[in-house]
Amino acid sequence: MDLGFRMHAERTPNPNSIKWVLGRAIVEPGTSAHFDAAPDSDVSPLAARLFELTGVEGVFLASNFITVTKRPDLEWTEIAQPIVDAIKACLADDRAALGPAFAVAERVDEDEVVQRIRQILEDEVRPAVAMDGGDIVFAGFRDGTVELYMQGSCSGCPSSTATLKLGIEARLREEVPEVQEVVAL
């Protein structure tokens, strides 16, 4: 057993997702990656390895944590130890969670309203959602509607609709009058 490898599990609001918190960063600051299917190992060796496990339906990598989403018909007691073993095997010796083929999406020129929306999401929403093992990613703003991707434990979470409408939409409408609605894609 590697005593230098620190990791613990945290429950999330989504009963099918667990957040595995590590004692070190696994991706570059400000970077995250969500996978609904196994990527090539040169994109993410860790996600590719986790998807080899029976029952893994989603992998989200950010900062110093990994959120794994399982099939609803499996119990965590059946899948937790293989997940821990895969994480330890992939991240041993300070190896990276993302491979050389991973590419961060580049931003295009944005107007002032989109910049204000993104700033609120970055400064207020994403840090709060990350505490529960998830992420909210800006997808677009059209005709008063903010479009977001729900990732990690937020994807498929029973309380994500309330978070979206009562939390995120209310906050954005308060600060950005042009926002009329927030929807998940």
Which of 31, 7, 153 has its CA nearest to residue 90? 7
Q: Can you give the pLDDT at residue 4?
A: 58
CB contact at 8 A, 18 and 26: no
Q: Residue 179: how many CB atoms within 10 A of its CB?
A: 22
What top-level class would CATH report for the domain 7-94? alpha beta
Fold of 112-184: GMP Synthetase; Chain A, domain 3 (3.30.300)
pLDDT > 90? residue 66: yes
Question: pLDDT tens digits, residue range 165-179?
Answer: 788 999 999 999 999
pTM of the model: 0.76
Contacts of 42 by beta carbon, 8 Å cutoff, 6+ apart: 99, 100, 101
pLDDT tens digits, residue range 116-134? 999 999 899 988 888 888 8
pLDDT beyond 70 at 31: yes
Residue limits of CATH 3.30.1370.70 in the chain? 7-94
Encoded amino acid at 164, one letter:
L
Q: Please count the other Cβ atoms lying within 10 Å of the Cβ belonging to residue 57.
A: 18
CATH 3.30.300.130 in the chain: give the residue spans.
112-184
How many angstroms separate the CA atoms of 8 and 65, rounded? Answer: 10
